Amino acid sequence: MSSYQRAASAYGQAAQTLAPTQQIVRLYEGALRRIKEARTAIEAGRINDRSSAVAKATAIIEGLQSCLDLAQGGEIAANLDRLYSHIGFRLQAINLQDDVRICDELIACLEPMHRAWSQVGDAGEVAPGRPLGTAPSEGGASASGGLQI
């Protein structure tokens, strides 16, 4: 089983057992971990490790962005979409410029988002399988069965 297949399997299991906000918190944790790995790899001159960490962080951010419901999410979803696009561009800049300052910039951007989502989960969890921002009578899993924000 490839690493992609293992990740997809783990995501599928998490989607079935974790509430949506907890899934988002875990994705932010993964993105932060990968950006920190990229930073460490830059400092050590390990180009392949940096590229791998950036690719993994990019996949996580793209995953978060793909879950946005721009039709129902209003201004918040639109702002998150722009933020995730910016983060994606800056992640690519890490590979182009080999600069730890970009990693630091992204960590500083994502850590408050991670804390905010953690607080949302702590304040009152959304039921598993119901898209964030929908009332219990509106909800249900998305057509793809995945997380929606």
Sorted by where each begins, the domain ranges of the chain are: 19-123
Does the pLDDT of residue 42 top 50, yes or no? yes
Average pLDDT, the chain: 83
> What pLDDT was estimated at residue 13?
64
Does the pLDDT of residue 138 top 90, yes or no? no
- Per residue in 94-128, pLDDT (tens digit) is 999 999 999 999 999 999 999 999 998 777 654 44
User: Shortest CA distance to 121 belongs to which of 20, 3, 2?
Assistant: 20
- Per residue in 18-35, pLDDT (tens digit) is 888 899 999 999 999 999
Which residues are within 8 A (CB) of 82 and not within 5 positions of it... i.e. 6 or more apart? Answer: none
Which residues are within 8 A (CB) of 107 and not within 5 positions of it... i.e. 6 or more apart? Answer: 32, 35, 36, 39
Percent of the chain with pLDDT over 90: 65
Q: Tell me which amino acid residue 108 is.
A: A
Q: Cα dist. 74→28, 33, 77, 129 in Å?
A: 21, 29, 6, 20
Statement: 19-123 belongs to CATH 1.20.120.340: yes
